[in-house]
C-alpha cells in the first residue's frame, strides 16, 4: 500500500468516521442489508467490461470476492480501512484527485461511496479522465426512496436504527453521520443526468428502492 504522490487534503464531512468504524463496518452493512449487499454489488459489476478496474472508495476490500477476473486497484482515503483489505494493489487517495494517468482503467466500480464525497462533479470528471474511451463506471449507493411517503418512513427508520446500532458498537456519532448522508444528494436519476459520463442505465434495489445502481459510459 502506498500514498498517492499528488494526494491533496480535502475538507470532508466524513473525516474520521470510517477510521472509527473500520473493524465493524462490513458486518453492520451485512446486517442492515439482510445479507444482500454483495448481490447488489454483483448486479452492477456484471455490466462492466473486463480488464483493469479501479475500486473507488474500496475501504476494506469487501467487493473483491465478487470482482471475478478483474485486475483490481483499490483506492480509499482511509488508510485504516485499506490496511484490512485483501486487495494487493492499494492506494491512499481521494476520488476528486485520482493519482492515475489518463485512460488507465477499463472499468471503475464504486459502492456506498458517492454520498461521502466532497465533490461528485470533480469525482465524475476524474473517473472520465482515467477511463479509456468506451470504458464504464458502475456505482452502487444508498439514498431515499423516490416515493415521498416511503421516503419519510425510511428517514424515520434510519434516524432510529442507525444511531442505535452506533451506540451498540460504540460509534454513535459515526452512524448518526451515515443517517444524515442519505439526504445529501439528489436522486441518481437526476444526479448523473448532466454529468461528464453518459448514463447507460439506473435501477433501484432493496426495501422501498433505497439502494440504486447506475452504469455510466465514457463516450
Instruction: Indicate which CATH number applies to the domain containing 106.
Output: 3.40.50.150
The answer to whether position 166 is within a domain reads no
Domain carrying residue 58: 2-144+183-217
The answer to whether position 149 is within a domain reads no
Of 63, 53, 57, 66, which Cα lies nearest the Cα of 108?
A: 53
81 compared with 41, residue with greater pLDDT: 41
The answer to whether position 210 is within a domain reads yes
The answer to whether position 162 is within a domain reads no
pLDDT of 10: 35
Tell me: the pLDDT tens digits for 60-73?
Answer: 999 999 999 999 99
Tell me: the pLDDT tens digits for 123-137?
Answer: 999 999 999 999 999
The answer to whether position 188 is within a domain reads yes
| Alpha-carbon span 113 to 45, nearest angstrom | 15
Query: Comparing 72-76, 95-99, 182-186, which segment has the lowest mean pLDDT?
Result: 182-186
List of long-range contacts for 197-203, beta carbons under 8 Å, 24+ apart: 197/124, 197/127, 197/128, 197/137, 200/47, 200/136, 201/47
The answer to whether position 198 is within a domain reads yes
pTM recorded for the entire structure:
0.78
The answer to whether position 205 is within a domain reads yes
Counted domains in the chain: 1
The answer to whether position 165 is within a domain reads no
pLDDT of 209: 75
Identify the band that residue 1 occupies on the pLDDT scale cut at 50, 70 and 90. Answer: very low
Identify the band that residue 210 occupies on the pLDDT scale cut at 50, 70 and 90. Answer: confident
Of 26, 107, 21, which Cα lies nearest the Cα of 65?
A: 26
Tell me: the pLDDT tens digits for 197-206?
Answer: 999 999 999 8
Cell of 7: 494526494
Tell me: the pLDDT tens digits for 167-182?
Answer: 655 555 555 556 566 6
| Cα 4 to the center of its chain, rounded Å | 19
What are phi and psi for residue 9, nearest 5 degrees? -95, 120
210 compared with 22, residue with greater pLDDT: 210
Amino acid at each position: 500500500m502506498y500514498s498517492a504522490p499528488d494526494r491533496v487534503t480535502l475538507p470532508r464531512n466524513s473525516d474520521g468516521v470510517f477510521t472509527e468504524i473500520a473493524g465493524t463496518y462490513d458486518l453492520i452493512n451485512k446486517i442492515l442489508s439482510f445479507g444482500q449487499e454483495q448481490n447488489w454489488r454483483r448486479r452492477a459489476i456484471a455490466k462492466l467490461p473486463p480488464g483493469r478496474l479501479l475500486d473507488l472508495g474500496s475501504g476494506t476490500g469487501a467487493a473483491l470476492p465478487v470482482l471475478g477476473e478483474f485486475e483490481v486497484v483499490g483506492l480509499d482515503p482511509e488508510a485504516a480501512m485499506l490496511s484490512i483489505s485483501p486487495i494487493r494493489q492499494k492506494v491512499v487517495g481521494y476520488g476528486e484527485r485520482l493519482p492515475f494517468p489518463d485512460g488507465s482503467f477499463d472499468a471503475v466500480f464504486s459502492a456506498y461511496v458517492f454520498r461521502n464525497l466532497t465533490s461528485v462533479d470533480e469525482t465524475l470528471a476524474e473517473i472520465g479522465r482515467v477511463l479509456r474511451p468506451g470504458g464504464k463506471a458502475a456505482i452502487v449507493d444508498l439514498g431515499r426512496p423516490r416515493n415521498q411517503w416511503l421516503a419519510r418512513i425510511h428517514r424515520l427508520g434510519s434516524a432510529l436504527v442507525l444511531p442505535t446500532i452506533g451506540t451498540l458498537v460504540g460509534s454513535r456519532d459515526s452512524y448518526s453521520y451515515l443517517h444524515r448522508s442519505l439526504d445529501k444528494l439528489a436522486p441518481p436519476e437526476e444526479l448523473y443526468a448532466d454529468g461528464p459520463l453518459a448514463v447507460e442505465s439506473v435501477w433501484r434495489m432493496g426495501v422501498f428502492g433505497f439502494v440504486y445502481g447506475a452504469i455510466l459510459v465514457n463516450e
